């Protein structure tokens, strides 16, 4: 299936009621499963990943298939490793290429009983009942790995007999996601301390409390992109908190470089186009990698030179997002290139440059690589001319209503 997408003008006006955050929803579901009492979760994400998490937590099957849901797989690995019973945890072909060894090694050190069924260090896993889980409560985990490993360990930490002392070594990747996990745990009565590079969570019980999931800031990024590419914008996004726990909430400040103003009131934000974009944009995406694709497309769409760093985790997402960006931006004469090693030698960082201005002509066809964020990030280029998106329903992974919400803002979508 493909969608042909166009927008008759470059004016954006309307209201969008964003879905609940997938990241927050999945954490709340794991905590509810670990809690002695159930509690209500309002505005739970309708995303495929969250609905799958909900289904698998309630499942009594011995084989649990997470499909392409990386967060679901990683959180369930830690959760199941702390529970009685044996299960096989598996996923899609792409999931079997995404490393899990660091998390498994940490859990085994804590007393978990996990074996690899195919390639060592990768899914699928057979998870047996633990042996003296938590007798060793001190772990050292590299910080330059997925923050989901750390969050998975932290959420089971209070249920361990001796709690957990988690020492994080090296440069932190996506630290705001770990901070978000700890803040959600605090909401449910779990205390922790964080001194230098060690997070300590004593043994304690989660307390059941009603919980409301904030709208998804990652989803909001696509509307910020529309605002940036617009000639005028009067758009209200509902469900976002000004004091958000989500790392992607940096969008409000980030998008000022593109002439987009954010005004908060009553858990909603008003977007306006108030000026022109700066000719140069630089950002370290290490704390917020999920919006890197969106910003690469914005830079390309406006002809802004973008200097990006902190993209280390993008190659192990739903697809190799760096390669995917390079391939698809080139279709509209925009180039996403890694800078020579001599540029980053002093800082030991990798830098990428976005160069060129998008030329949307002769109906460019964008592949999505089974990656929801590729579909949504590139859909916004329809504001510059007619485009085609392959496998558009991949958005169900995080934002099932995305295409319907675009139609409400005046985008024309034809199924082919």
Going by C-alpha positions, the residue among 132, 75, 58, 124 that lies closest to residue 95 is 124
Structural contact between residues 94 and 324, judged by C-beta atoms closer than 8 angstroms: no
For residue 336, what are its two tokens? Answer: 């996403």
pLDDT of residue 286: 87
pLDDT of residue 174: 73
Q: Tell me which residues are annotated as active site.
A: 290
How many CA within 13 A on the CB side of residue 271?
A: 33
How many CA within 13 A on the CB side of residue 344?
A: 14
Per residue in 179-214, pLDDT tens? Answer: 999 999 999 999 999 998 999 999 999 999 999 999
Going by C-alpha positions, the residue among 152, 136, 169, 59 that lies closest to residue 104 is 152
Residue 306 CB burial class (10 angstroms; 0-12, 13-18, ≥19): buried
277 φ/ψ sector (left φ>0, alpha ψ -120 to 50, else beta): beta
pTM above 0.85, yes or no: yes
Going by C-alpha positions, the residue among 139, 59, 131 that lies closest to residue 103 is 139
Distance (Å, rounded) from C-alpha 90 to C-alpha 124? 4
**Three-state SS for 75?**
helix
**Three-state SS for 291?**
helix
Tell me the average confidence (pLDDT) per consecutive run of 10 residues in the chain, 416 residues long.
Answer: 96 96 96 96 94 96 94 96 94 93 95 96 96 86 86 97 93 84 97 95 97 95 98 97 90 96 94 97 91 97 96 79 94 94 63 95 93 95 97 94 97 95
Structural contact between residues 165 and 200, judged by C-beta atoms closer than 8 angstroms: yes
pLDDT of residue 341: 67
β-sheet bridge partners, residue 93: none
Q: What are phi and psi of 311, to 5 degrees?
A: -100, 20
pLDDT of residue 132: 83
Going by C-alpha positions, the residue among 337, 362, 339 that lies closest to residue 350 is 339
DSSP assignments along 99-164, one per residue:
--HHHHHHHHHHT-EEEESSSTTSS-EEEEPPSSTTSS-EEEEETTS-HHHHHHHHHHGGGSTT-E
pLDDT of residue 337: 94
Residue 255 is classified by DSSP as G
pLDDT of residue 319: 77
Cis omega (within 30 of 0) for bond into 124: yes
Domains and CATH numbers, the chain: 2-19+216-415 (3.65.10.10), 22-212 (3.65.10.10)
Structural contact between residues 367 and 355, judged by C-beta atoms closer than 8 angstroms: no
Q: CB-based contacts of 186: which residues, under 8 Å, 6+ apart? A: 192
For residue 341, what are its two tokens? Answer: 């090693």
Per residue in 101-137, pLDDT tens? Answer: 999 999 999 999 999 999 999 999 999 999 888 778 8
Structural contact between residues 254 and 221, judged by C-beta atoms closer than 8 angstroms: no
**C-alpha angle with apex 75: 74 to 81, nearest 5 degrees?**
95
């Amino acid at each position: 299936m493909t969608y042909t997408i166009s927008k008759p003008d470059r004016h954006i006006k309307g209201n969008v009621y964003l879905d609940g955050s997938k990241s927050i929803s999945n954490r709340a579901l794991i905590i509810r499963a670990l809690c002695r009492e159930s509690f209500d979760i309002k505005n739970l994400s309708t995303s495929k990943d969250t609905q799958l998490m909900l289904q698998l937590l309630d499942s009594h099957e011995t084989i649990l298939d997470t499909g392409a849901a990386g967060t679901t797989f990683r959180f369930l690995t830690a959760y199941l490793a702390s529970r009685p019973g044996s299960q096989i945890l598996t996923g899609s072909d792409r999931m079997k290429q995404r490393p899990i060894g660091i998390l498994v090694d940490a859990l085994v050190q804590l007393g978990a009983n996990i074996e690899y069924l195919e390639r060592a260090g990768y899914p699928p896993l057979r998870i047996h009942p633990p042996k003296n889980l938590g007798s060793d409560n001190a772990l050292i985990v590299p910080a330059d790995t997925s923050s989901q490993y750390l969050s998975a360990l932290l959420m089971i930490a209070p249920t361990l007999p001796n709690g957990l002392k988690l020492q994080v070594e090296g440069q932190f990747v996506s630290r705001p996601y770990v901070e978000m996990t700890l803040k959600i745990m605090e909401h449910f009565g779990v205390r922790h301390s964080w001194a230098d590079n060690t997070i300590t969570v004593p043994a304690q019980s989660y307390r059941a409390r009603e919980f409301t999931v904030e709208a998804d800031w990652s989803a909001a990024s696509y509307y910020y992109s529309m605002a940036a590419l617009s000639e005028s914008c009067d758009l209200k996004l509902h469900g976002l908190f000004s004091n958000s726990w989500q790392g992607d909430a940096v969008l409000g400040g980030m998008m000022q470089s593109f002439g987009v103003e954010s005004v908060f009131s009553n858990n909603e934000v008003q977007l306006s186009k108030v000026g022109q974009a700066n000719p140069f944009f630089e950002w370290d995406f290490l704390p917020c990698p999920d919006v890197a694709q969106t910003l690469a497309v914005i830079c390309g769409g406006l002809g802004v030179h973008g200097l990006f760093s902190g993209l280390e985790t993008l190659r192990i997402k739903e697809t190799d997002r760096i390669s995917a960006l390079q391939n698809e931006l080139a279709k509209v004469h925009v180039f996403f290139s890694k800078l020579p090693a001599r540029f980053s030698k002093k800082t030991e960082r990798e830098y990428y440059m976005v160069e060129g201005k998008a030329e949307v002509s002769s109906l460019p066809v964008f592949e999505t690589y089974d990656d929801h964020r590729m579909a949504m990030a590139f859909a916004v280029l329809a504001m510059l001319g007619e485009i085609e998106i392959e496998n558009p329903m991949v958005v169900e992974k995080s934002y099932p209503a995305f295409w319907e919400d675009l139609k409400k803002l005046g985008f024309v979508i034809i199924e082919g």
